[in-house]
Amino acid sequence: MRSLLSIFVIFIVLACKVVAQERISSFIPSSAPDRIILTIKGDPSTTMAVTWRTDTSVSESVAQISQNLPTVFLADSSSVVTGTFEDVEGDGVVGRFHSVNFTSLRPGTTYAYRVGSGADASEWFTFKTASASADPYTFLFFGDSQMGTNSLFSRVIRQAYRAVPDARLMLFPGDLVDGGTGSKLQDDEWGEWHEADGFINAEIPVLPTPGNHEYYNPGDRTNRALNRYWKPGFTLPENGPAGLEETAYTLDYQGVRFIIVNSDVMLRSEDLTRKQAVWVEELLKNNPCKWTVMAFHHPLFSTSARRDNQTVRESLKPLIDKYGVDLVLNGHDHTYARGMIMPDGEEKKGKRAGTIYVVSVSGAKQYQQDAEPWWDLGLTNTQLWQAIAVDGNELEYRAYDASGTVVDQFTLKKKNNGNSLLNNAR
């Protein structure tokens, strides 16, 4: 009798484990679209991409789009666009990620769209395409959101949206979530990130780059592989170096050239480091835009004496110096710092600005920092977001903390010779 009881107990324990492994997520996909997110895959003045998730009962990737008319009969004026889907299996759940790229749109025009069909169609969302010219606009930046996203990052992104509702882009320099490669996807982290962002992701296109945590497998630290949600979950440009599709890419948006680098692979691949440096140089050499912003995960200049990304710095700093990149936005260090760094061998004389480097964090994970000579301001234990407004010859940067207070700001003014002057408002 005792052995029978033991077998029964073992069976129950094993059964619980199996159930736990099968369904660890609280964000189970259904036939209704969720995780709806806008990205830009092509020309931002004529295209916009949307990605969303369902369960496997949905066999068609369908979206509808119309100019944003005041009528309630939007569906009557809309076009149906079909796309593709990709299944991702992990944590006992199969998520079907659908992707549609809207093309032949009009520049500077507001559109309404929805994804899915029939009873499962989403609500109508709106977005605006980029102008064909360098009209003024504002983009947002969020350092590592990573942990506690639905608890604490949520207030940051919502405050940013409240403050700058017409922001045109949201840049995320990696570590959007904490982990999940291999067989264990940690789906709940993506569920929480999307829950925190809510409909904002469906109205303002996101420019993400992976950080080390998008290559991180908590079960096997030596096994580095891109999070399996990355490519199915974002519809991103494939205009970077071969092998880095949707992780290193470029976008010109109303007079700003964005260069999104995959810095994590630089730490372990000489080949991908060299390829990215060659690619970055081409983009900087043949740059039609007045402003250049680079974003990637690992800071060229850390906020901690114990953290240094020498490979990334040695491959990119000479190019940043040579071509006068205006702004470099990084994450990874889980603190805030901002400073201007001149090209190697050049002193700060006030005649022209060097490159402005920013390290920031938007989420709950916070580190200590050391006072480093390179920065004008450093902050710890502070959640932040940035609004960067570009208007002709002027770029205005503001960093806000999670209470909505402006904690840092500066202005760059571009001169006719291409050099900038820094007005350090602090």
Residue 334: which region, alpha, beta or left (left: phi > 0; alpha: psi -120 to 50)? left
Q: Which is nearer to Fe ion, 68 or 212 (CB)?
A: 212
- Residue choice 210, 211, 241, 255 for contact with Fe ion (CB under 5 A): 211
- Residue choice 117, 212, 269, 393 for contact with Fe ion (CB under 5 A): 212
The stretch among 11-19, 144-152, 190-198, 259-267 that binds Fe ion (CB under 5 A) is 144-152
- Residue with the shortest CB distance to Fe ion: 175
Residues, the chain: 426
Q: Which is nearer to Fe ion, 317 or 332 (CB)?
A: 332
Count of residues in contact with Fe ion, rule CB under 5 A: 6
Q: What contacts 119, CB < 8 A, 6 or more positions away?
A: none
Residue 170 Cβ vs Fe ion, minimum distance, rounded to whole Å:
17
Q: What contacts 28, CB < 8 A, 6 or more positions away?
A: 55, 93
Residue 275 Cβ vs Fe ion, minimum distance, rounded to whole Å:
22
Q: Does 116 bind Fe ion (CB under 5 A)?
A: no
Q: Are 92 and 23 in contact (CB under 8 A)?
A: yes
- Residue choice 33, 139, 143, 144 for contact with Fe ion (CB under 5 A): 144
Residue 69 Cβ vs Fe ion, minimum distance, rounded to whole Å:
43
Q: Does 175 bind Fe ion (CB under 5 A)?
A: yes
Q: What contacts 280, CB < 8 A, 6 or more positions away?
A: 259, 261, 294, 316, 319
Q: Which is nearer to Fe ion, 173 or 233 (CB)?
A: 173
User: How far apart (Å, rounded) are the C-alpha atoms in residues 361 and 282?
Assistant: 30
Q: Which is nearer to Fe ion, 146 or 250 (CB)?
A: 146
Q: Which is nearer to Fe ion, 144 or 246 (CB)?
A: 144
Q: Which of 215, 219, 245, 325 is CA-nearest to residue 281?
A: 325
Q: At 359, is the secondary structure helix, strand, or coil? A: strand
Residues 225-264 that bind Fe ion (CB under 5 A): none
Burial of 366 (0-12, 13-18, 19+ CB in 10 A): middle
Q: Are 386 and 397 in contact (CB under 8 A)?
A: yes
Q: Does 178 bind Fe ion (CB under 5 A)?
A: no
Q: Which residues of 274-291 are buried (b: 16+ CB within 10 A; e: fewer)?
A: ebbbebbeebbeebebbb
Binding mask 69-108 for Fe ion (x = CB under 5 A): ----------------------------------------
Q: Does 41 bind Fe ion (CB under 5 A)?
A: no
Residue 361 Cβ vs Fe ion, minimum distance, rounded to whole Å:
8
Q: Does 332 bind Fe ion (CB under 5 A)?
A: yes
List interacting residues with Fe ion (CB under 5 A).
Answer: 144, 146, 175, 211-212, 332
